[in-house]
Amino acid sequence: MTDWAAFQYEIYGAGVFTGAVPRLPTDLTRLEEVARQRLGPGPFGYVAGSAGDGKTARANRRALDRYEIVPRMLRDVSARDLSVELFGRKTASPLALAPVGVQSIMHPDGEVAAAKAAAAQSIPFILSSASSTPMEQVAEAMRDAERWFQLYWPKDPEVTKSFLARAKNSGYRVLVVTLDTFMLAWRPTDLDTAYLPFLRGVGTANYFTDPAFEAGLGKPVHEDPRAAVMHFVQLFNDASKTWDNLPFLREHWDGPIVLKGIQHPDDARKAVDAGVDGVVVSNHGGRQVNGAIGAADALPGVVEAAGDRLEILFDSGIRTGDDIAKALALGARGVLLGRPYMYGLGIDGQPGVEHVIRCILAELELTLALAGHSSVGSLSPADLHRTS
Ligand code: FNR
């Protein structure tokens, strides 16, 4: 049994006894505005920005807003349990923190703060390949808490093998392979400020600490950081990979493999054929293909194509507890949270991330209970009304 909902009484109680109010908004849709006021334009723009004119990011919101929950009454929801099983392990809720690179641009403690927040709240943390902190250091800070590793699949197979071995040795259990970002999309917010952290050597920590990466350099990273950055750029972009390359990953990773960025039902079927364990229905928060389908509009097709053969996770546009409920009702088993926790990190470090996790899960639990659900398992598309 879980009690995320108790957070509201903790807040009200603190108000009564000490006069304190939360340091961050509890309506998480307000975080972006607070972050805009507190953070520099480069870092804020890097997180908030999308591809092109932002059409896909808007489509993500529109797709979720199109669905409305139809509450059911007189059901016993006194004992509630939000737990789900993700890739063979029970987790306290269907939420995980999405892989987000370069977190030190938001807060000096970067990924370590976010990972510790996830661990403290029993939420899986997915560490990006483009982390600003080496994966071993993040793992150490998390002790035995659940962590997954996200791979941007390098051009150099030796670096890929080395990343997978390092991730395994440092306790990352699930491999999330992001397929949608083998090149960076046209991102006007970053272009207009000429801001790309990687070119300043931020978000390259996993590469710059990797022996296979270093082997491809003429001089050690600290002696020629510019050459190291150029090598990173060259190795990061690989537009040549196809489904035929996937067995390589299976050969070098013996845990669950999840493909992130799937939007077409045929690609979900290909994922089944490739023998992977799951997919993340995601358009990278609208940061890659501008004009792409809203992620929640892509979800039902993927569920229909492969929902009984793959574990399906969802992200892109999740901002509130009811958004999570909708994604689960549409057939996702779990949901990844992206920008909101980055804003929490930027505004208040680890406590800011914990605040975001606690708010969204409290809101999820209350939404489910008030709509007649004591667990996520009873949700189905029949609990939703599609407005257009
Ligand atoms: C991302 N995302 C991402 N995904 C990934 O697989 N590896 C990465 O390194 C990153 N980096 C990254 C940086 C920033 C600043 C953002 C906002 C996003 C995508 C992320 O995992 C997730 O798909 C989106 O954040 C979901 O969209 P919303 O909910 O943030 O709109």
CA distance linking residue 385 with residue 372, whole number of Å = 15
pLDDT for the residue 187: 98
Q: How many CB atoms lie within 10 A of CB 141?
A: 18
- The pocket around ligand 1, CB under 6 angstroms, is made up of 46-47, 98-101, 128, 130, 150, 178, 260, 282, 284-285, 287, 315-318, 338-339, 342
Ligand 1, atom 3, residue with closest C-alpha: 100
In three state form, how does the secondary structure of the chain look? CCCHHHHHHHHHHHHHHHCCCCCCCCCHHHHHHHHHHHCCHHHHHHHHCCCCCCHHHHHHHHHHHCEEECCCCCCCCCCCECCEEECCEEECCCEEECCCCCHHHCCCCHHHHHHHHHHHCCCCEEECCCCCCCHHHHHHHHCCCCEEEEECCCCCHHHHHHHHHHHHHCCCCEEEEECCCCCCCCCHHHHHCCCCHHHHCCCCHHHHCCHHHHHCCCCCCCCCHHHHHHHHHHHHCCCCCCHHHHHHHHHHCCCCEEEEEECCHHHHHHHHHCCCCEEEECCHHHCCCCCCCCHHHHHHHHHHHHCCCCEEEECCCCCCHHHHHHHHHCCCCEEEECHHHHHHHHHHHHHHHHHHHHHHHHHHHHHHHHCCCCEHHHCCHHHEEECC
- CB-count burial class (<10 Å; 0-12, 13-18, 19+) for 369: middle
Q: Specify whether the CB–CB gap between 249 and 177 falls below 8 A.
A: yes
What are the tokens at 226? 């510019």
| Mutation choice for ligand 1 from 29, 58, 65, 100, CB with most ligand atoms inside 8 A | 100
Residue 375's Cβ-count burial label (10 Å; 0-12, 13-18, 19+) is middle
Q: Which of 222, 231, 252, 284 is catalytic?
A: 284
Residue 336 CA to ligand 1 centre (angstroms): 9
Do residues 322 and 29 touch, judged by C-beta distance below 8 A? no
Identify the CA nearest to 117 among candidates 376, 324, 361, 314: 361
Distance 384 CA to ligand 1 centre (A): 27
Please name each of the domains of the chain with its CATH number. Answer: 7-12+19-69+81-197+237-374 (3.20.20.70)
**Pairing label, strands 67-69, 384-386:** antiparallel
What are the angstrom distances between the C-alpha of 318 and each of 14, 262, 313, 323? 28, 17, 12, 6
Q: Whose CA is nearest to atom 23 of ligand 1?
A: 284
Distance of CA 100 to CAs 84, 103, 256, 376, 381, Å? 23, 7, 20, 26, 30
Tokens of 25: 């908004």
Walk along the chain (388 residues) in steps of 10 and give the mean pLDDT of each run.
Answer: 91 98 98 98 98 98 98 97 98 98 98 98 98 98 98 98 98 98 97 96 97 97 97 95 98 98 98 98 98 98 97 98 98 98 98 98 98 97 96
Is 284 among the residues known to form the active site? yes
Model pLDDT, residue 1: 65
- Among 184, 287, 324, 326, residue to substitute to test ligand 1 (most atoms within 8 Å of Cβ): 287
Q: Is 224 exposed, middle or buried (0-12, 13-18, 19+ CB in 10 A)?
A: middle
pTM of structure? 0.99
Task: Give me the pLDDT at residue 179, please.
Answer: 98
pLDDT at 230: 97
Q: What pLDDT, on the 0 to 100 scale, is given for residue 257?
A: 98
* pLDDT (0 to 100) of residue 4: 97
CB of 379 within 8 A of CB of 18?
Answer: no
Q: What's the CA gap between 362 and 18, in Å, rounded?
A: 22
With CA atoms as reference, report the closest residue to 319 among 360, 380, 272.
Answer: 360
